[in-house]
Structure 1
Amino acid sequence: MSGFTIELSTPFPSGFTGGLGGPQQGGHQPPHWYIEYGMDLGADDGTDVYATFDGHITRMSPHVPSDDSGKVYGAQLFVRAHNDMMGGFYTHMTDVPPELTVGSAVSRGDWLGRVFAFDGIPAHLHLALVEIVGGLPGGSYQGVDLYGHVVEAANSDLVASVAFARDGTPPVVGG
């Protein structure tokens, strides 16, 4: 089974205010990969959020303000890479363009919406990345910890090659 590489950029080429916690820190605990491997990336309310890699939307829950509560608030997007072997979960957003629906293609750098602050919680984007070991259908979801890289790359136009071995081992970030 051969590996694959994706080109990854930050969701915040500008406007990032600091890391608020990464995978397996604070409330980022099992059993769900999209929580356990979450990265809380600080940004002011209304900061633009951009796609971190090329893919297509496989799940989309629009922001319905009356449904906001506790840790679940704002729009939720799941973007899967075109090879169906990795993906990303974005939440705590608003103003997602109406043309972004399940099946929509997105390119790295496409605008996805804005950070949404709720109920005194520090404004941030929750982003979780996952490798789909074995691909789809039937692959297993293994969360990926790229928090250090994403925080370091924020407020820049840095694009990194991220190599996945396709066996659940941590990916390797290149230049």
Structure 2
Amino acid sequence: MSAFTIDMSNPFPSGFTAGLGGPGTGGHQSPHWYIQYGMDLGAPAGTQVHAAFDAHITKYSPHDPATDSGKVYGAQLFMRSPNDEMGGFYTHLTNVPGGLGVGTQVSRGDVLGQVHEFAGIDPHLHLALVEIIGGAPSGTYQGVDLYRMFLDTADSGTVTPVTFNQDGSPPTIGA
């Protein structure tokens, strides 16, 4: 497979408060990439969350307050880049715009919902990224750590090109 580049921007062009933990820290442990490579990006409840890259939604679990728990709460969105070789998982959302669902195309910067606050847990977006080596659905899923990039670009409209090498190595940021 050939390397490819995706333009990425921060899900919080405004409202970011703090990084609350990146991949492999705290509760971000295996076995699932969408937990292990999670980044908790803090923002006040109600802050708009934006798509970090162009994608199509592959799985959507709407927010059902009756099922919220300390680990799983708010709406969940799984999405993949247009080439199906990179994906993302967003959770702890509420007020997801009507019309978003499986198969919906989103552009970088589109509103995906708002930060949901639950049970005294610091309000935040849980965002995890994965490179899909060989492409979905049968490729190898390799978690990606872009936590530092998201901390550095919070509260800005910065667009950062990220090159995914399709060989198992970490992506190149700003290439």
Q: TM-score, normalised by structure 2?
A: 0.98
Give 1:140 shift. Answer: 1.2
Residue in 2 that maps onto 1:120: 120
C-alpha separation in 2, matches of 1:118 and 1:137: 33
Runs of 4+, deviation exceeding 6 Å: none
C-alpha separation in 2, matches of 1:86 and 1:144: 9
SS in 2 for 1:34: helix
Q: TM-score, normalised by structure 1?
A: 0.98
Give 1:136 shift. Answer: 2.1
Give 1:78 shift. Answer: 0.6
State the AA in 2 paired with 1:7: D
Residue in 1 that maps onto 2:65: 65
Paired-residue identity, %: 66
Residue in 2 that maps onto 1:152: 152
Residue in 1 that maps onto 2:170: 170
User: Structure 2 matches for 1:1-175, cutoff 5 A?
Assistant: 1-174=1-174
Query: Could you list the runs of 5+ residues in structure 1 that have no partner in the other structure?
Result: none
Query: Could you list the runs of 5+ residues in structure 2 that have no partner in the other structure?
Result: none
Give 1:137 shift. Answer: 3.1
Give 1:144 shift. Answer: 0.1
- How many residue pairs end up in the alignment? 175
Give 1:123 shift. Answer: 0.3
SS in 1 for 2:17: strand
SS in 1 for 2:135: coil
Give 1:25 shift. Answer: 0.6
Q: Deviations over 1:39-88 (max 9, x none)?
A: 00000000000000001000000000001011100000011000000010
SS in 1 for 2:132: strand
Q: Deviations over 1:21-47 (max 9, x none)?
A: 000011101111000000000000000
C-alpha separation in 2, matches of 1:4 and 1:111: 25
C-alpha separation in 1, matches of 2:137 and 2:32: 19
State the AA in 2 paired with 1:93: L
C-alpha separation in 2, matches of 1:168 and 1:61: 30
C-alpha separation in 1, matches of 2:173 and 2:53: 14
